[in-house]
Amino acid sequence: MTNFGFVINNRTCIGCHACSTACKSENEVPLGVYRTWVKYTEHGAYPHTQRTFQVTRCNHCANPPCVRICPVTAMYQRDDGIVEFDKDICIGCKACLQACPYDAIHIDPDSGTASKCHFCAHRTDIGLEPACVVVCPEHAIIAGDLDDPNSEIRRVLAKERVSVRKPEQGTAPKLFYIDGDDVALTPTAAGAGTSFMWADVVEPDVSTPAAEALDDSESSRAPSGVAIRDSGRQGHPTGGPINFAPGTMAEHMVQVGYNAQHHTPWHWPVPAYLVTKGIGAGAFLVVAAAWLAGRLPPETSGPLMLTAAVIAVVFTAATTALLIYDLERPTRFLSIVLHPQWDSWLVRGAFILIGFSILATGWLGLEMVSGLNVARDLIEPISPARGAVLLGGVPFAVGAAIYTAFLFGQAEGRDLWQSTLLPVHLLIQAVMMGAAALGIASAFLTTPAGFDELVWWTLLGSLTADLFVAVAGEFGMPHASEVAASAAHRITHGAYRHHFWTGSVFVGHVVPLALLLTSAASPVVAVAAVAAIVGLYLFEYAFVMAPQGIPNS
């Protein structure tokens, strides 16, 4: 059985970019994206300096997380170990980009599908070497069968000390570096200065959506198209022809001289979907709990039950719409259902949402029949049927609320999302959002006795629990990796500190808690509920965007 891999000899690599050029030519890679690129890292202070090169690409991992997370098997592993992709079935969900710890996958701007190095499989299949191997003038790239004892790559690995990128991720990468430079291998070890060797580092305006994942003090990647505060940065420094970077000399002893720039995969639709999903599932859970506890008598709860059913259905539909909108190829979204890859939590989550939507819609139908009161012979059996639907829907509502935690867990390129608290946190947020939505609705409805008090207690308790889990749990405890800690720092002290402290903590928790403790009147609860919803969106925005600004390459 063949098992293909690469060795890059950093002793002989001269950083000529022949491999990058050959890759683009052979595979017709569009401008602005890269399957292979060369990272330059510079050490020391003039005149005692050194420049190292690192050819960077897909690692063709033996345990590829991009394959597990892909919902439609567009990303797959061949029998010969090559991690290949099929652009004809890719839906452009960008989950594989989040799962890759090496930033090796991008969205092809021409096809709107995932793309990356595929070991020049069309050449390998007919016995030829990848284009980058053939063109390298120093034979610094060696490709071959790792399981063949007579192959060159096997002989090289037997006698050389080699390194891989991020071995702690457990992906078993098959791209090995001879004399791998520790600073180049560790993406966060060196940041960009005021400019790359042949390119300016674009300073982002963090108030614009295009720059939302970049903090110029912490990331060496600048997504193309971001707004520029100072037009002088475009090749004409405003301070004169010579500019000294801010900070101490020690900070500039190591820096990136050249690297590829990559777009941020997920934007505002993802945090928005987390909020709408929480509202739909949470409203169902709160009402189901109240109904099963006997707090909603059928004779007085009709308008409330109908409104809650509408909330569950409408916000779950909005969740689906946001998920489809975020796809690069939205016309292919049915592939998740028709050709599912069951290891992916995108698929499992889709079927959970479908099941929940069916039950919520059935509940809405029962409430509409009961409200219209046109079929009196159907009214009597509606109450037990309603109870059966609400009881059966609880597992689906819980699943809809928390499945994203397991999806984020598969996104191994974003360490902050690998939180064991996340399922519990998402469930608390769903209950909080359900109580908030019902609190707003109660301000316009005549509700059964005691229901407003139930909503008040539920919202107060879930807000308190969410504040504790977010501040003390997610960000108060030490993080297991430097990457996760860096992302958390961006949220609490970096580019997203205002989203977190002002938006989430103050507007989303302190203000509604203060209002609720002041009064339990419906208008006050409604205002507190609106503040909680706004605060949750700002929290989710920071939680989704900040980890994507930490460089993986």
pLDDT, tens only, 2-19: 999 999 999 999 999 999
Pairing of strands 4-9, 175-178: parallel
Per DSSP, the three-state class of 197 is coil
> Which of 275, 354, 364 lies closest to 313, judged by CA?
364
pLDDT at position 301 is 84
> Which of 518, 535, 545, 15 lies closest to 258, judged by CA?
15
Neighbours of 477 (CB within 10 A): 11
Which residue in this structure is represented by tokens 């592939």? 335
Per DSSP, the three-state class of 189 is helix
Neighbours of 22 (CB within 10 A): 19
Per DSSP, the three-state class of 162 is strand
pLDDT at position 188 is 83
Query: CATH top-level class for 1-59+122-265?
Result: alpha beta
- DSSP lists the bridge partners of residue 202 as none
Q: Do domains 1-59+122-265 and 269-549 have the same CATH topology?
A: no
Tens digits of residue pLDDT in 57-114: 999 999 999 999 999 999 999 999 999 999 999 999 999 999 999 999 999 999 999 9
φ, ψ for residue 328, nearest 5 deg: -75, -25
Q: How far apart are CA 242 and CA 223, in angstroms?
A: 26
- pTM equals 0.90
Neighbours of 137 (CB within 10 A): 10
pLDDT at position 219 is 37
- Domain spans of the chain, in order of start: 1-59+122-265, 269-549
pLDDT at position 18 is 97
Beta-carbon contacts of residue 269 (< 8 Å; ≥ 6 apart):
322, 323, 325, 326
pLDDT at position 218 is 37
pLDDT at position 240 is 44
Helix axes 511-518, 522-545, angle to 10 degrees: 160
pLDDT at position 103 is 94
Type of residue numbered 32: G
Per DSSP, the three-state class of 341 is coil
Query: What is the number of residues in the chain?
Result: 553
Type of residue numbered 86: D
Which residue in this structure is represented by tokens 């791998």? 180
161's tokens: 């000390």
The fold of 269-549 is Formate dehydrogenase/DMSO reductase fold (1.20.1630)
Contact, 71 vs 346, CB < 8 A?
Answer: yes
pLDDT at position 258 is 81
DSSP secondary structure string, 437-456? HHHHHHTTS---TTHHHHHH
Tell me the mean pLDDT per 10 residues along the chain, length 553. Answer: 95 95 96 92 83 94 98 97 97 97 96 97 96 97 96 96 95 97 86 67 44 38 33 38 50 75 90 98 97 84 93 98 96 96 97 97 91 58 82 97 98 95 97 98 91 96 96 91 94 96 97 97 97 98 95 88
Contact, 442 vs 452, CB < 8 A?
Answer: yes
In the DSSP assignment, the letter for residue 547 is G
